A = this chain, B = another copy of it.
Amino acid sequence: MTYPSKLLKFAAFRWDGVPIRQYKTADAPYRGVTRQTLLGEGSGEEAFNFLTRYFEVEPGGYSTLERHRHPHAVVVIRGRGRVILGDATHDIAPFDCIYVAPGVAHQFRASGDEPLGFLCTVDRERDRPEVIE
């Protein structure tokens, strides 16, 4: 069996045929975050054990403060922000890489006038986040 390969052309932080989705369907505190799954969920992409997603946080927005057992591999590609990692907070900018280790509370916040955008790769099979109120 062979699978199709695929090129997703980029323009203005959208990709060919990739829908912009709600960040979360569960009731959890966040503001101004969208999600696009770039690689791993398309037809014929069952071979991937991981998913490549793009998250965008609008100015003043933030993701849910949460933790889970699966790790995150994050690469910032747009804008500026701050990431909470456990007890620490760091400024982040394009192409900074962030390793979110298992069980560590984390949150991404946009700072400045441009959206904060980042790639976040995760295991396809993973535990559900625990929201920290």
Give me the interface of A with B, judged by CB distance under 8 Å. 2-10, 13, 15, 38-40, 42, 44-45, 47-50, 52, 70-71, 73, 75, 77, 83, 85-86, 88, 90, 92-104, 106, 119, 121, 123
The answer for the CA separation of A79 and B100 in the assembled complex, in Å, is: 28
Chain B residues with Cβ under 8 A from A38's Cβ?
73, 75, 97
Contact A101 B3 (CB under 8 A): yes
Instruction: State how many angstroms separate the Cβ of A82 from the closest Cβ of chain B.
Output: 11
The answer for the CA separation of A29 and B87 in the assembled complex, in Å, is: 47
Instruction: State how many angstroms separate the Cβ of A54 from the closest Cβ of chain B.
Output: 9
Instruction: State how many angstroms separate the Cβ of A102 from the closest Cβ of chain B.
Output: 5
Contact B101 A2 (CB under 8 A): yes
Chain B residues with Cβ under 8 A from A104's Cβ?
2-3, 5
The answer for the CA separation of A88 and B7 in the assembled complex, in Å, is: 11
Closest 7 interchain pairs by CB? Answer: A10-B95, A3-B101, A8-B97, A6-B99, A5-B85, A39-B73, A47-B71
- Contacts known (A97-B10, A99-B6); A52 close to B73, Cβ less than 8 A: yes
